[in-house]
Amino acid sequence: MKEDFIRRKERWAKKMSGRERPTRPNAGRLPPGQHEVNNFPVLDLGVHPEIPLDEWQLKIHGEVENPVTLNWEQFMALPQFTDVSDFHCVTTWSQFDMEFEGVAFFTLTELIKPRPSASHLFFTGYDDYTTNTTLDACMDDDVMIAHSWNGQPLTLEHGGPARMIIPKLYAWKGAKFIREIEFRDHDELGFWEQRGYSNTADPFVEDRFS
């Protein structure tokens, strides 16, 4: 476990320093039961909350040493991170080679310093959507809070100003219009998790429903 964590953090450090281009396998990257698309469909509860950048805030708190509420300027002043990943929606579409830019989750954890008691995360969007993961699932080199896709600011329908990207989990685990991230010492099911979707959500084992 510890060694795996160190490897993920090393991969992230290499990406941050520009010494490693993200490389993607060609074979075996389409999870079972998925098909590839190229049109980046929109999926959400149908509410697209419009948050002016000068009112936008991201609150990160809970089991952390240094809780913060970032405004847009502070968020954009953090070290920036670009990565390429695949995107898997539980409704069976996958899109490869998605280039997102934002703030790496490892950068956030260095800022807020999770307490040893922090084991889970609870995410809330400006549309009041919620979802949850383990902390471990987000301590990975490809996890970020993205503000841009393919070099352009995220459109509102895709979760702008900023959204979570957690490539190794089905996309409902990535909260669009992100407003709050709470570090917790216990798990709590989010919107879809309460409605029968899997809590762990690993596309490669078709972990769709609980």
Q: Which lies closer to ligand MTE via its Cβ, residue 62 or residue 159? A: 159
3-state class of 15 per DSSP?
helix
User: According to the binding rule CB under 6 A, does residue 143 interact with ligand MTE?
Assistant: no
User: According to the binding rule CB under 6 A, does residue 88 interact with ligand MTE?
Assistant: no
Based on C-alpha coordinates, what's the Rg of the chain? 16
Show contacts with Mo ion in window 135-174 (CB under 5 A).
172
Task: Enter the tokens of residue 208.
Answer: 């769709």
Amino acid at 112: I
Part in contact with ligand MTE (CB under 6 A); list of ranges 24-32, 111-119, 171-179, 199-207: 171-179
3-state class of 133 per DSSP?
strand
- Select the binding partner of residue 42 from Mo ion, ligand MTE, none (C-beta < 5 to 8 A, by kind): ligand MTE
Task: Enter the tokens of residue 113.
Answer: 């310093």
Near ligand MTE by CB under 6 A: residue from 125, 160, 161, 167: 125
User: According to the binding rule CB under 5 A, does residue 191 interact with Mo ion?
Assistant: no
The residue among 135, 141, 117, 126 whose CA lies nearest residue 19 is 141
The closest residue (CB) to ligand MTE is 125
Shortest spacing between CB 32 and ligand MTE, in angstroms: 17
Amino acid at 115: R
The whole-angstrom separation of Cα 56 and Cα 177 is: 10
Task: Enter the tokens of residue 36.
Answer: 């590839």
Shortest spacing between CB 147 and ligand MTE, in angstroms: 13
Show contacts with Mo ion in window 71-90 (CB under 5 A).
89
Near ligand MTE by CB under 6 A: residue from 21, 33, 41, 113: 41
Task: Enter the tokens of residue 197.
Answer: 């979707």
Amino acid at 146: A
Shortest spacing between CB 188 and Mo ion, in angstroms: 19
Q: How far is CA 151 from CA 97, 145, 147, 154, 199, in A?
A: 13, 15, 10, 9, 32
Q: Which helix (H) or strand (E) holds 106?
A: helix 105-112
Q: Which lies closer to Mo ion via its Cβ, residue 128 or residue 185? A: 128
Shortest spacing between CB 117 and ligand MTE, in angstroms: 27
Which residues would be at the binding site for ligand MTE (CB under 6 A)? 41-45, 89, 125, 127, 129, 158-159, 171-172, 174-177
Which residues would be at the binding site for Mo ion (CB under 5 A)? 43, 89, 172
